[in-house]
Chains A and B, each alone.
Chain A
Amino acid sequence: MQRTRPLSDCHPELSITEWPGFREYRVENWRLARDGSGNVVYGAKSWGWIDLCLPVVISFIWPRVSILLEVTQLRIGFTMYCRCAQVLYESVLVFPAHGIQLETHWGYPLLKPLFVSRRFIHASLLEDFIINEGLRRWNVRYYLAAVHGSSTDKIALDVAFENILPHFPVLLEVYQGVQELMFYNHTDNRHTCI
């Protein structure tokens, strides 16, 4: 089990782990600031200033409102849930000749993941693994998509790294790895280099 960070200069959040039998491409939910300052921008925060303001606000309005107990419990429960359901990291696991698996891990940032969602796409259903461009709100983003057939005979796209949406250099690295493992084994000239 060997873990490397291929883009350690600009995108150290991508790490590749070689497990026996499969390869994992993991993108963690933090990145370096892109203005070159070297600061780390965290996508999943363990605490924020809002957590300190919350008790202050509650203590201020406590004497004034009658149904406050239920509201407060709801508010605290909601905040705890939000804090524990942040995306920690997302992975693409490549099982050569078997398929690929798209995973998302949620949890509290300082602990192990609490929730996991996994989506396995069998190699026979997997048509292609592509980098697509799309409009997202006011922006244009690149995203990785697994093109696969389904039981109803329609082609569907599943987006990898759906919540973190890393930038192009990370996607290119994952794309080339998946293409090499999943598709180059079958035919030689199926895909030309970009």
Chain B
Amino acid sequence: MKHEPLAIAMISDFFHPNVGGVENHIFMLSANLIRRGHKVIVITHSHPPDRVGVRWLLPGLKVYYIPFPTIASSATLPNYFTFLPYFRVIIAREHIHLIHAHASLSSLGQEAILHAPHLGVRTVFTDHSLFGFEDAASILTNKLLAAALKNVDAVICVSHTGRENTVLRGQLFEKSEDSSVLVVRPNVYVIPNALVAEQFTPATEPVSSETSRYFHVVVKGTTNFSSVYIVVLSRLAYRKGIDLLVATAPRICSAFPNVNFIVGGDGPKLNDLLQVRERHLLQDRIELLGPVRHRDVRDVLVRGSIFLNTSLTESFGIAILEAACAGLYVVSTRVGGVPEILPHDLISFAKPEEDDLIRALSEAVAIVSNGQHDPMEAHQRVKNFYNWGEVAERTEIVYDAVVKSEQKDLWTRMQRTMELGPFAGPIYTIILVVDCLFFLFLEWLMPRHDLDFVQMHWEHDNFRQVQ
């Protein structure tokens, strides 16, 4: 079904030149929406030294880098009102219909949801991660999220587990008609991430490693003693369960003399890995690659036959998907949205405990050594599971539903904001009212008719002409 072309603004703190899951998601989704005929721009914060202003990315994606300083890992401080002037000008001059905010830690996205109704623009929010409920950072983020999502038009999550988590954290309930029971809002959707399968193809011939040159002969039914490589590629942080890896690696190495580890990535837990290597004299069994660029990930993956993911929390697990697409057998902790992404014959699960992880790894080593896992067949299956075109199509359906729904007026929004609680309610309502007054002031200071409107944009047809 062909949808009306829309003008969409993706707003997030997390965008290129930083590299990561959210950034890649925004870029690939934007590229596919442009291919489907929509106009997409991205608004994000600037990066030192001179990434400020307006830039263009292929394929016709305009990016606005707003000069805000960052505090930690590319997130800006919630400065509710200083974003409004830039936001108003950009949205008005680009004739935007709908904004799509990404990531709960992105204050730019949440502010955009607050400001958008003043301009008559619809809002969609995508949540990419899972959060807890008990530590201080989570409590604060959840409260901010609940306030932002009170008046959003649609919420998209990347997995069903993620949807449950977001609904609980953001309090996305409404009273049902007979006002006796709370029901989940109908505008919460699940649209998974995707990957570009052509970038993750298995090795067509056996890959020799740097430390050994075994030719990997697979004979069904007999155990052979050629090397099995377990690949671990992640940020070396607590959240990613590196402590589990540190505990299980020596035991696996002593139980299976032919199993070696290849660990790529960097982070605060690198020292723990180095220490365990030293203590158990595993320098030739555990190879540490350091930070790996995204374009080199496939080459690292095809060196191994098992991919290990020890995350303590994972809302989708795109790394697991990339490894499965490259033909590796996956061993992962059963957390978050991981059980939803792959069929269970391509993945072994374990509880996030040492003994269970060893059980799962032993199982995986046996499966791979007996030749019961075929990389090419796995790749052929996984490459059809997810693709960005489908994600864009499903997102388009959400946009369509949002644009056709009715917009809430100011009084309704104020009433809904007051429902947040005895303290948070009045605070956020005051923020909303001051926001309206600042908006009126800006309408006087920089009248709409004086803006430099965009009259020409990159036409996607130009690509076809060049071809």
A-side interface residues toward B, CB under 8 Å?
Answer: 34-36, 132-135, 138-142, 167-169, 172, 192, 194
Contacts and interface: CB of A to CB of B under 8 A. Distances in A.
B85 A138 contact: yes
Contacts, number: 44
Contacts of B446: 138-139
Given A34-B449, A135-B52, A140 B455 contact: no
A65 to B, nearest CB: 35
B290 to A, nearest CB: 35
Nearest to A41: B450
16 contacts: A35-B449, A36-B449, A132-B54, A133-B53, A134-B54, A135-B64, A135-B67, A135-B86, A138-B85, A139-B451, A139-B452, A141-B452, A142-B452, A167-B452, A168-B454, A168-B455
A141 B53 CA distance: 10
Contact of A138 (B89, B453, B455): B89
Interface string B39-52: 00000000000001
Interface of B: 52-54, 64, 66-67, 85-86, 89-90, 93, 446-447, 449-456, 462, 465
A178 B52 CA distance: 28
B267 to A, nearest CB: 34
Nearest to A194: B456
Contacts of A139: 89, 446, 451-452
A139 B67 CA distance: 12
Nearest to A143: B452
A35 B449 CA distance: 6
Q: Which of A35, A133, A140, A141 has the most CB of B within 10 A?
A: A140
A135 B54 contact: yes
B452 A140 contact: yes
Nearest to A36: B449
Tell me whether chain A's interface is mostly helix, strand or loop, or mixed.
mixed
B85 A133 contact: no
Contacts of B86: 135, 138, 140
A141 B90 CA distance: 10
Nearest to A139: B89
Tell me whether chain B's interface is mostly helix, strand or loop, or mixed.
mixed
A139 B93 CA distance: 10
A35 B450 CA distance: 8
A133 B54 contact: yes
A109 B403 CA distance: 51
A133 B65 CA distance: 12
Given A134-B53, A135-B67, A192-B462, 13 more contacts: A35-B447, A36-B449, A133-B53, A134-B54, A135-B54, A138-B86, A139-B446, A139-B452, A140-B54, A140-B90, A167-B452, A168-B455, A194-B456
B450 to A, nearest CB: 6
Contacts of B64: 135, 140
Contacts of B67: 135
Contacts of B449: 34-36
Contacts of A172: 456
Contacts of B66: 135
A41 to B, nearest CB: 10
B112 to A, nearest CB: 16
A167 B449 CA distance: 12
Contacts of B453: 168
A135 B53 contact: yes
Nearest to B86: A138
Contacts of B53: 133-135
Contacts of B465: 192
Contacts of A133: 53-54
A140 B93 contact: yes
Contacts of B89: 138-140
B435 to A, nearest CB: 16
A34 B450 contact: yes
Nearest to B450: A34
A141 B89 CA distance: 10
A139 B66 CA distance: 11
Nearest to B66: A135
A167 to B, nearest CB: 5
A115 B446 CA distance: 31
Q: Which 3 A-B pairs have the closest CB atoms?
A: A138-B85, A133-B54, A34-B449
Q: Which of B54, B67, B90, B452 has the most CB of A within 10 A?
A: B452
Nearest to B466: A192
Contacts of A168: 452-455
A46 to B, nearest CB: 23
B458 to A, nearest CB: 9
Contacts of B85: 138
A137 B455 CA distance: 21
A133 B451 CA distance: 13
Nearest to B453: A168
A35 B443 CA distance: 13
A134 B55 CA distance: 9
Contacts of A36: 449
A143 B462 CA distance: 24
A168 B94 CA distance: 13
Contacts of B455: 168-169
A13 to B, nearest CB: 15
Contacts of B52: 135
A140 B85 CA distance: 10
A139 B85 CA distance: 8
A14 to B, nearest CB: 15
Contacts of B90: 140
Contacts of B450: 34
